[in-house]
Structure 1
Amino acid sequence: MAYVQRLNRVTEVFAPLLETIQQEQAPASHHQAWLIDSFPVALVKQGHRFKARVAKELADSSYRATKKLYYYGVRVHVIGSRQPGSLPAPEYIGMRGASIHDGKVLDQIRPYVHDQDLYGDKAYQRPDADAVRQTQNLTILTPVKKQKGQHYLEPQDQWLSTAVSRVRQPIEALFAWIEEKTGIECVSKVRSYNGLMVHVFGKLAAALFFWNFLRTSS
């Protein structure tokens, strides 16, 4: 327990450490596009979430449709630069409450990304996409949503949706790799806000440090 408490006292070290590790990444040979997505970090799952009280400063309840998961926790948001034949290089990493919509998070970090295409899932669709393209030279590309009552997409919309999904697949592979190496998405033993910060940013820092080592030694 004393060891855990010492870690919690240096909580504020981990986010700057993660930023430093990001800056030490090998420079990209060619930045093709931005990829954006988020993954859940669950403190409590399913019915137990109603009694959850840990890290109330940030965590809350939500539903992750892709995983069919009701949970109490946070979501980690990542924007990465697409790399040919490799996982995307994370350029922005942030954490918000589980219930915060991906579109709102994009509004906050959009000023930092420009002059490229940005690929995301349907949650990142924007009614002002044309205005964003004109003001930031940023084209937001997402799969096409079916209209109310529509059973099938038009062929051109289906083609676009498939193309966008293929481009953004590497960021899902990045999340799967981080989860495999760190087990970051399950944090049931954390009992405080500081402990949550240590868990998330400490494991992200460890994963990216290991990834940088692999890239530079290959």
Structure 2
Amino acid sequence: MKFVSIIKPFYEKLPKEFRYRCNYRELKVSDLIILACMLARIDLHESSESHFHQMLVASGIVVPERSRCNRRCRKLKDAAKPIRLWMLKKFVHEPAYEIIDSAPITLVSARRSNQAKVLRSIANKGYNATKKTYYYGFKLHAVMTNDGYSVNWKLTPASIDDRKAAIELLSKSPTKYVLADGGYLSRPLQEFLKRTYGIHLWFPLRKNMRPSDQTNPAFLKNQQRHIETAFNNLNTVSHFEHPGTDTMNGLDSRLSTIFLWNVIKAHEQLQHGRSGLKIND
């Protein structure tokens, strides 16, 4: 698999306590192969774990039986996260600006949202302004560079206001210019980020708002479409808006793999002179 050679140099940076853990010699399939399979599932746009496992077996790829393979994938999310960060450190160099946005993750259909019990202690009911409908689940917040690299992400209950998640995400932002849509429209937030972190948050202004020193609103709207396109592309590939999982461990593993795949794919696109924001080909 092509992903083995890509992630191997970064996997070898993981602590020896993880790579050479108890009974590691008895593993019939290495962590690298499992990680590569997780990335290949995203690359093949496969939403079903069981169907993808059948595909691997039918292709002659040696993998553990399905339930054990799924458990291995869940555990390897702790490897996917640092690997992604090391890749970002190597690939991303002073982006011109970043874009922040959110997307819904639906756990059950809208008509069952009032009776939903899946992850009830964490998930809740929220409103999707784009589709003008209520849903039950989570909200995925992500920060993306203008080149298409997802540099940070956070999962919150569906009812959380975008502006509340913005501070935590942007406090770790490597750039000082961030574009946002109307969901982040807040003068106090804008002033707090500038005063505390030196971050200039740009968002479309309402007609009754006083002019500011931010750049051309038409430019902001045009650039904001980039992350909307990237979110749509990422959902087309990975189906993250309807993950089909009922555990936080499974959802976290899925998202960690998706964003690792995003970094690899965006870098590959840029290396070939294509846009890193269009990764669903």
- TM-score surpassing 0.5? yes
Paired position in structure 2 for 1:70: 134
Task: Write the letter of the residue equivalent to 1:78.
Answer: A
The range that moved more, 19-28 or 173-182, is 19-28
The range that moved more, 23-32 or 61-70, is 23-32
SS at match of 2:76: helix
Question: Where in structure 2 are the equivalents of 1:74-85 lying within 5 Å?
Answer: 74-83=138-147
The range that moved more, 89-98 or 28-37, is 28-37
Contact 2:98-2:175 within 8 A present in 1 as well: no
Paired position in structure 2 for 1:150: none
Paired position in structure 2 for 1:119: 179
User: Would you say 1:27 and 2:87 are equivalent positions?
Assistant: no
SS at match of 1:24: helix
Counterpart of 2:195 (choices 109, 114, 134) is: 134
CA–CA distance in structure 2, aligned partners of residues 191 and 135 of structure 1: 38
CA–CA distance in structure 1, aligned partners of residues 206 and 143 of structure 2: 22
Residues 73, 47 of structure 1: CA spacing in aligned structure 2 closer, same or farther, 3 A cutoff? same
CA-CA distance at 1:20 after TM superposition: 1.4
Structure 2 segments unaligned to the other structure (5+ residues):
1-49, 51-64, 274-281
Paired position in structure 2 for 1:179: 235
CA-CA distance at 1:140 after TM superposition: 0.9
Paired position in structure 2 for 1:103: 163
Question: Where in structure 2 are the equivalents of 1:152-167 lying within 5 Å?
Answer: 160-167=216-223
CA–CA distance in structure 1, aligned partners of residues 96 and 195 of structure 2: 19
SS at match of 2:224: helix
The alignment's C-alpha RMSD in Å is 3.0
Contact 1:78-1:93 within 8 A present in 2 as well: yes
Contact 2:204-2:220 within 8 A present in 1 as well: yes
User: Would you say 1:11 and 2:74 are equivalent positions?
Assistant: yes
Greater relative contact order structure (CA < 8 Å, 6+ sep): 1
- Residue-by-residue CA offset, 1:64-111 (whole Å, 9 max, x unaligned): 11122321111211112223xxxx211111211111111000122332
Counterpart of 1:89 (choices 109, 130, 149) is: 149
CA–CA distance in structure 2, aligned partners of residues 209 and 27 of structure 1: 10
Contact 2:126-2:134 within 8 A present in 1 as well: yes
CA-CA distance at 1:154 after TM superposition: 9.4
Task: Write the letter of the residue equivalent to 2:254.
Answer: H
Contact 2:180-2:202 within 8 A present in 1 as well: yes
CA–CA distance in structure 1, aligned partners of residues 133 and 235 of structure 2: 16
**Structure 2 length normalisation: TM-score?**
0.63
Structure 1 segments unaligned to the other structure (5+ residues):
148-152
Paired position in structure 1 for 2:205: 144
**Structure 1 length normalisation: TM-score?**
0.78
CA–CA distance in structure 1, aligned partners of residues 186 and 75 of structure 2: 34
Residues 130, 114 of structure 1: CA spacing in aligned structure 2 closer, same or farther, 3 A cutoff? farther
CA-CA distance at 1:130 after TM superposition: 3.1
CA-CA distance at 1:195 after TM superposition: 2.8
Residues 63, 27 of structure 1: CA spacing in aligned structure 2 closer, same or farther, 3 A cutoff? same
Residues 124, 5 of structure 1: CA spacing in aligned structure 2 closer, same or farther, 3 A cutoff? farther
* Structure showing the higher strand proportion among its residues: 1
Counterpart of 2:251 (choices 168, 190, 196) is: 196
Percent identity of equivalent pairs: 18
The runs of 4+ residues in structure 1 deviating greater than 3 Å are 153-156, 202-218
CA–CA distance in structure 2, aligned partners of residues 214 and 82 of structure 1: 13
